[in-house]
Structure 1
Amino acid sequence: MNGWIDAHNHLQDSRLGNAEPLIAEMRRSGIRQCVVNATCEADWEKVENLRLAHPGLISAAFGIHPWKADTATDGWQQRLGDLLQQHPSASIGECGLDRWIASPDLRIQRAIFTDQLRIAHEMDRAVTIHSLKAWEPLFEVFQDQPPPSRFLMHSFNGSIEIAERLLPMGAYFSFSGYFLQSRKAKVVEVFRKLPADRILIETDAPDMLPPDEFIRFPLPEQHNHPANLVAIAEGLAAQLGWSCADLAEITSSNAQRLFSATS
């Protein structure tokens, strides 16, 4: 087994503190690569610096999260495009739509998301998408602005019917440890039905903390350590009836194919 790939985390998040000890623990635990996602313009330099410091481990994703859509400043699209030109291996993320929150308004979210999809499509970059209680608005955006040929639905908790609509568009789906809770059994059932060549695994650190039995690297204030990925993977493998070696091989191969420009 060549190691695990964390398809989505936020190592730049200030809640995690100094990333260097976390990165050392990730390496020791068997994680060989991760995709670090920005959430706003202020994150872009932080993510860039992490990528430059750890080019073999970290793949950069630059984007604007729907929760922070109202923080975008004039000219952000050009700056994002320029940054992507400087980093040919980077993807776009985290972006998307969220109706779980009241603000920013969905109209603002949609405008910011649509522009990121356009840039991803024009530059042929993979994009990582957040969608929470917003499936129909997501498909409406896709009608106006098709996604690029490959994209990740991160921490996917939609139905198999939603997944079947997304699969022909080029969607991949990542599983996070939070869904190992017994009350989230329906999410595991969806992952059992997904094509094996479209499944990835993620931590979403410092968020989406798994149940206690899958926390091998505790952090203060219930923050999720990215090195918990291996325990999360073991939990998912058991639920799917796969070996850990098979899950590592399959999800790593899928991540490399999805983020082929970010390997």
Structure 2
Amino acid sequence: MDLTNRRGIITGAGQGIGRALALEFGRRGGHLLLVGRQLPTLTETARLVASAGGTTEILVEDLTQPGAVERIAQTVASWSVVDLLVNNAGNVRAGRLELISDADVHSMINLNLTVPILLTKTLLPTLRQSGKGRGSILLNVASGIALVGMPFYSVYAATKSGVAQFGESLRRELIGTGVHVATVYPGATDTAMMTSQNAGAELGWGRRPLDDVITDLIAALEAGEHEINTAPEGRRAMQQLNITDPMAVDAALAPDLEALELAVRDHRSI
């Protein structure tokens, strides 16, 4: 898969995985629409992309608000090519289900699941048209929690599992159209989104450096992979066990449930 000179959209581009991906595509000569909620963070991403050799436009947008998807489409309507869409924007609120507010439930579902579906739906004709030749890229950022549902992340897991199955189904729907649909499953990654989460390696939440995750992700994209797992080997063992013996995963997690709840109950990016 040729990643050079891509023209496209990255949501949640102000920090973390979104910013890191913007830099990677910028280094390869990309022209990117950076979408996010905060102008200062988007401006910094744009500066870094420019230093790396790419070009950008900025759109400050709360993607959950009415008309947001349409405004993104309008912004790129004059582009001759749109051959990249990265559905990265997301949020999280951890804790016992009965203690999570209805507003936070809706916020996770809207941003993590509804927005990627609607944005993809709106831009798909353009991606398909632009994909004639070397192909367009649709990258959905799911989570390792989509592979192993973790306690106190039930709503977040539901949204990320939904993103994963959306990508799998759409990939099969788009066979032969020139749109390469890929889903990435990052494990716990050392980004700003994790600053309010206090679970460490002793609870199975060892964090990978962002650079390592992005290196694996980009290499997998260049290799033409569709399902991209950036979890460390230890977590992959649990993912495999969850397929073959899910009750064993339950048993392994049970002794540390109280400690895990204390460690993650303040995890919030909403």
TM-score (normalizing by structure 2): 0.36
Higher normalized contact order (CA 8 Å, seq sep 6+, divided by chain length): 1
TM-score (normalizing by structure 1): 0.37
**Highest CA radius of gyration, 1 or 2?**
2
